[in-house]
Chain A
């Protein structure tokens, strides 16, 4: 098993330029889309079947009264415990030898279970071919010794690519350095393998709590609810069935006035 690869997006170095967003579209030969007005520079409110890297712009009024403009290049998190992968009935979504989560278009049957199983809303459905689409961690590039297109394009090295342990160590040092410089809310998101989803292979350094960026504070796999939900469903079914039996018990014996 090869060492796990990861992308570390350090938003403290992001200048919101969108080189990553465009490089991704160019490399993956994604199509032009009609943008949507979001009220900010962001040109799509969500990931789409043609936008796998999406730069988000969040204006945050700090308690000091100062303004912060949080710039974040969002992407598929390549979760260690991936909801899309677990939901996929055909195995089209699979984990590569590098730990990244790829989506084999040929094996996809368009069922869209993956779309609803992603806690981050990353996966989108492409009506054209009728298949699901998401960031592949530039699988064609990493299988040939290259890093992802977004990391290559980033002018400030905000998106870093390498082996996971190396990047996590670097990220931890970076958070400490930022805190030392007075950036109190600097925090990692998805670096911890003991944290949510077993950790993210595309993890982040954020400058505010996750919900500021519309990221879930503690994302869970919907599949983790399957046993409990199923038992509840079965249990409810049994109760309804028993209730029905009890309610109609007297009918067959001609109770009541004749």
Chain B
């Protein structure tokens, strides 16, 4: 999230588009605090959930129509003059002029200029700024030029009327207008609003554009970088943020550098040229990447060998390696071995019947987890509604299970959704053969290095060159953290010759990272988490536990948040272009012209309630002094922001939809990824299918965790729900003759499950363009393992129903909106 959970209490209005109360209950206390201060809570969700119970307003939205909703709000804010004009003019690219060839999806029946039908991809040549003779983007600060981003955005969303929102999303017009007035009205210098999102926006074939639409709305209302504002991306517990920071995602290196492509990036120089912009803070990328390579390969990384760039794995293609790609490849026999570390794809993947069959095709499988998961026991899975029991004799895979330690049995850090890194000490030793993940991986690395010692094969050199000396048996996690932070590899001096660091000192800031091999840092955004005190002793700032007080409501002494312990990103935008706060009420960061600067003959610095997310000494009226979005080349927030599926979000129906797209002739995201899997193993229901007429969404409950490994195996959690269930409206239940508590069958072209029906008023049928569309909801926590004495702790696997379709930018699956049928009884 760009902001901070604690700061949510400063919002004047909160729009929760995700089910925050249920999935982020501890963070939700700050929503409650905001409410106590008079803030209003709007909840947008197809179901009425425990978040809706706390909300002032619940807007029921048909799953898969988020862009129609946000587009409607963008149009509403513009039409009713509710946007924050000064912020928009100065801090975003609204005033920038776009190439005259560019056309919006309003003009081209749902497509943007440049769509190549044969390639099913966009040629983005018109998706760029008009430049003046000096190469700077042309701007119209009045926002009136028809080719200005602002007017193009207006044109893009002129189809997204309140009537259209009603017809497409199923939100009654009056409700939408009330919510829009409330949310968009809480903007300007004196008010801020915040929006939360989670997988409600991400798990769609237009997932990334969903998030873009939310960001655009927040920029339009001038909410980003200000107290009580921001974009609240709610990441998973407890360490999803930490995991993605450290490159658990296939397309990133630690600190979010693109994983190199084999053909496009044959060497370090080309890689850095292609991935480093000419302006903005990311001009420093070479320093971060070289320092990362030095952390990995130590002395073996030299200027001569490109710092070991050749040794890191390269992607053969961009359209590969995601979670869905992996299992389709595995199903097709292309993958021989697999490590599932704290991962349970047998339950948590997409189209999971295929996933489980794919796992049977491996030569070997290593599962490293706290309990015997469904993935660990996929070789003897019992019968389910979708298939017969697996006969172990039919499975040739050699399966290893490494019992892993949970959090309390190991030292380490967790990085939560507000980028806060918190160190935790081990409370008890793991029992018996249980080992921490770090120890497993560390020992594996050591043994592999021994096994391959002396090898001359090119592909083994990287492994042999890895610095791998964190301890004897169990690695010192603090040592790892210090390496991630970064250290000076030799004495470092500043440009005046003053010694900044002795050799071996931990670095204080990523500003001190260099691209000449004299610094090492595993992940540049964490630089500063471990520093040295006056005696040279390591201070682990992630272990700090200084509570918030009146002077520091954001608690800068509690843990350490990346980057540089900033709690609210883009906080330059909390002040007007002249450097003064937008208002007394929303004071957060401002320019103090009298404060001492960093050079003797100058004055002035940014001061306030947080570490400036800006050059602390750059005056507001200096060049670049009004560019809060420092990570973008032009320093401005982007309304016009090219992605593979467009520079503006456009509503497309989910790949399985009950209705035709009312916004344009283009039914689905034309660049979405669709896999062909085996013999009809990934069939999709047609538009308006009568065989699969109901919309289905999948989701989580507070009481269970992900695929249920850490909840359905614990008796006191496993007993909280009597069994796996689906939520249905009374109207649908009546139509199908289903009683509350009866077993029903939910089926899709991929699979079927048997669950109990929970008939509830909290789901209601939608009216979509005058037609009744039913939607059901099914949590996905259940699988075939669980507490033996609680039969209800085991159940069919919901993801057997989902399909292999993906967002074109990141290939995330569409588990939030697809089609199903429901039948009474066990069919």
Q: Which of B137-145, B601-609, B787-795 contacts A (4 or more CB under 8 A)?
A: B787-795
Measured in the bound complex, the distance between the Cα atoms of B727 and A39 in whole Å is 10
Measured in the bound complex, the distance between the Cα atoms of B762 and A181 in whole Å is 24
Q: Is A43 an interface residue (CB 8 A)?
A: yes
Task: List residues of A (1-46) whose CB comes within 8 Å of B's CBs.
Answer: 13, 15-19, 21-22, 25-26, 32-41, 43
Given contacts A15-B54, A59-B760, contact A35 B702 (CB under 8 A): no
User: Residue among B28, B720, B741 with the most chain A CB within 10 A?
Assistant: B720
CB of A156 within 8 A of CB of B790, answer no
* B42-63 interface code vs A (CB 8 A; 1 in, 0 out): 0000001011111000100000
Q: Which residues of B contact A67 (CB under 8 A)?
A: 48, 52, 58, 761-762
Shortest C-beta distance, A177 to chain B (Å), equals: 8
* A175-189 interface code vs B (CB 8 A; 1 in, 0 out): 001000100000000
Measured in the bound complex, the distance between the Cα atoms of B52 and A71 in whole Å is 11
Given contacts A40-B758, A155-B26, contact A69 B719 (CB under 8 A): no
Q: Which residues of A contact B760 (CB under 8 A)?
A: 40, 59
* B786-811 interface code vs A (CB 8 A; 1 in, 0 out): 01011010000000000000000000
CB of A35 within 8 A of CB of B53, answer no
CB of A68 within 8 A of CB of B717, answer no
Q: Is A70 an interface residue (CB 8 A)?
A: yes
Q: Which residues of B contact A156 (CB under 8 A)?
A: 25, 28-29, 32
CB of A155 within 8 A of CB of B722, answer no
Q: Given A18, A37, A68, which contacts B722 in the complex, CB threshold below 8 Å? A: A37
CB of A70 within 8 A of CB of B53, answer yes
Q: Which residues of B contact A40 (CB under 8 A)?
A: 758, 760
Shortest C-beta distance, B14 to chain A (Å), equals: 14
Q: Is B100 an interface residue (CB 8 A)?
A: no
CB of A35 within 8 A of CB of B50, answer no
Measured in the bound complex, the distance between the Cα atoms of B54 and A155 in whole Å is 14
CB of B28 within 8 A of CB of A16, answer no
CB of A37 within 8 A of CB of B756, answer yes
CB of A32 within 8 A of CB of B719, answer yes
* B733-766 interface code vs A (CB 8 A; 1 in, 0 out): 0000000110000000000000010111110000
Quick one: closest A residue to B739, CB to CB?
Answer: A39
Task: List residues of B (699-741) whose CB comes within 8 Å of A's CBs.
Answer: 701-703, 715-723, 740-741
Q: Is B684 an interface residue (CB 8 A)?
A: no
Measured in the bound complex, the distance between the Cα atoms of B49 and A71 in whole Å is 11
Shortest C-beta distance, A97 to chain B (Å), equals: 31
Q: Is A61 an interface residue (CB 8 A)?
A: yes
Shortest C-beta distance, A154 to chain B (Å), equals: 9
CB of B759 within 8 A of CB of A18, answer no
Given contacts A15-B21, A37-B741, contact A157 B716 (CB under 8 A): no
Quick one: closest B residue to A10, CB to CB?
Answer: B32
Shortest C-beta distance, A152 to chain B (Å), equals: 13
CB of A32 within 8 A of CB of B721, answer no
Quick one: closest A residue to B48, CB to CB?
Answer: A67
Measured in the bound complex, the distance between the Cα atoms of B413 and A114 in whole Å is 50
Shortest C-beta distance, A191 to chain B (Å), equals: 19
Measured in the bound complex, the distance between the Cα atoms of B720 and A16 in whole Å is 12
Quick one: closest B residue to A70, CB to CB?
Answer: B53
Given contacts A67-B48, A181-B38, contact A41 B721 (CB under 8 A): yes
Q: Which residues of B contact A71 (CB under 8 A)?
A: 50, 53
Q: Which residues of B contact A25 (CB under 8 A)?
A: 716
Q: How extensive is the interface on chain B, given as a class?
A: 35 or more
Quick one: closest B residue to A21, CB to CB?
Answer: B720
Measured in the bound complex, the distance between the Cα atoms of B175 and A66 in whole Å is 12
Q: Which residues of B contact A34 (CB under 8 A)?
A: 719, 789-790, 792
Given contacts A15-B22, A37-B741, A181-B38, contact A43 B721 (CB under 8 A): yes
CB of A69 within 8 A of CB of B52, answer yes
CB of A69 within 8 A of CB of B722, answer no
Measured in the bound complex, the distance between the Cα atoms of B703 and A13 in whole Å is 18
CB of A15 within 8 A of CB of B28, answer yes
CB of A22 within 8 A of CB of B761, answer no
CB of A32 within 8 A of CB of B716, answer yes
CB of B50 within 8 A of CB of A22, answer no
Task: List residues of B (26-41) whose CB comes within 8 Å of A's CBs.
Answer: 26, 28-29, 32, 36, 38
Measured in the bound complex, the distance between the Cα atoms of B674 and A115 in whole Å is 61
CB of B53 within 8 A of CB of A155, answer no
Measured in the bound complex, the distance between the Cα atoms of B727 and A69 in whole Å is 15
Q: Given A18, A21, A32, A155, which contacts B28 in the complex, CB threshold below 8 Å? A: A155
CB of A13 within 8 A of CB of B52, answer no
Measured in the bound complex, the distance between the Cα atoms of B9 and A157 in whole Å is 15
Quick one: closest B residue to A207, CB to CB?
Answer: B53
Measured in the bound complex, the distance between the Cα atoms of B53 and A126 in whole Å is 35
Given contacts A18-B702, A32-B787, A68-B53, contact A59 B762 (CB under 8 A): yes
Quick one: closest A residue to B26, CB to CB?
Answer: A155
CB of B741 within 8 A of CB of A39, answer yes
CB of B792 within 8 A of CB of A35, answer yes
CB of A36 within 8 A of CB of B716, answer no
Measured in the bound complex, the distance between the Cα atoms of B32 and A66 in whole Å is 21
CB of A15 within 8 A of CB of B722, answer no
* A101-121 interface code vs B (CB 8 A; 1 in, 0 out): 000000000000000000000
Q: Given B22, B28, B32, B720, which contacts A35 in the complex, CB threshold below 8 Å? A: B720
Measured in the bound complex, the distance between the Cα atoms of B21 and A26 in whole Å is 23
CB of A36 within 8 A of CB of B722, answer yes
Measured in the bound complex, the distance between the Cα atoms of B53 and A16 in whole Å is 9
Quick one: closest A residue to B51, CB to CB?
Answer: A15
Q: Which residues of B contact A155 (CB under 8 A)?
A: 25-26, 28-29
Shortest C-beta distance, B741 to chain A (Å), equals: 5
Measured in the bound complex, the distance between the Cα atoms of B50 and A21 in whole Å is 16
Q: Given A22, A41, A69, A177, which contacts B48 in the complex, CB threshold below 8 Å? A: A69
Shortest C-beta distance, B703 to chain A (Å), equals: 6
Measured in the bound complex, the distance between the Cα atoms of B26 and A33 in whole Å is 26
Measured in the bound complex, the distance between the Cα atoms of B21 and A101 in whole Å is 33
Measured in the bound complex, the distance between the Cα atoms of B751 and A253 in whole Å is 91
Shortest C-beta distance, A108 to chain B (Å), equals: 25
Q: Which residues of B contact A33 (CB under 8 A)?
A: 719
Task: List residues of A (56-97) whose CB comes within 8 Å of B's CBs.
Answer: 59, 61, 66-71
CB of A39 within 8 A of CB of B740, answer yes
Q: Which residues of A contact B703 (CB under 8 A)?
A: 17-18
Shortest C-beta distance, B499 to chain A (Å), equals: 48
Given contacts A39-B741, A156-B28, contact A32 B762 (CB under 8 A): no
Q: Which residues of A contact B741 (CB under 8 A)?
A: 37, 39
Q: Given B28, B717, B719, B758, which contacts A39 in the complex, CB threshold below 8 Å? A: B758
Q: Which residues of B contact A69 (CB under 8 A)?
A: 48, 50, 52-53, 762
CB of A43 within 8 A of CB of B720, answer yes
Q: Which residues of B contact A61 (CB under 8 A)?
A: 761
Quick one: closest A residue to B791, CB to CB?
Answer: A34
Measured in the bound complex, the distance between the Cα atoms of B789 and A41 in whole Å is 20
Measured in the bound complex, the distance between the Cα atoms of B756 and A38 in whole Å is 12
CB of A59 within 8 A of CB of B719, answer no
Measured in the bound complex, the distance between the Cα atoms of B741 and A176 in whole Å is 40
CB of B717 within 8 A of CB of A22, answer yes
CB of A16 within 8 A of CB of B50, answer yes
Measured in the bound complex, the distance between the Cα atoms of B722 and A88 in whole Å is 34
Measured in the bound complex, the distance between the Cα atoms of B762 and A70 in whole Å is 12
Given contacts A39-B740, A61-B761, A67-B761, contact A17 B22 (CB under 8 A): yes
Q: Which residues of A contact B29 (CB under 8 A)?
A: 155-157
Q: A15-B50, A15-B51, A61-B761 are in contact. List 12 more A-B contacts (CB 8 A).
A: A15-B25, A15-B702, A19-B25, A32-B719, A32-B790, A34-B789, A39-B740, A40-B760, A43-B720, A66-B58, A69-B50, A155-B26
Contact residues of B with A, CB < 8 Å? 21-22, 25-26, 28-29, 32, 36, 38, 48, 50-54, 58, 701-703, 715-723, 740-741, 756, 758-762, 787, 789-790, 792
The 9 closest A-B pairs by CB, nearest first: A32-B715, A69-B53, A15-B21, A35-B722, A39-B740, A37-B722, A155-B26, A156-B29, A17-B25
A-B contact pairs, 12 of them (CB 8 A): A13-B32, A16-B702, A32-B787, A32-B789, A33-B719, A39-B741, A39-B758, A41-B721, A66-B58, A67-B58, A67-B761, A181-B38
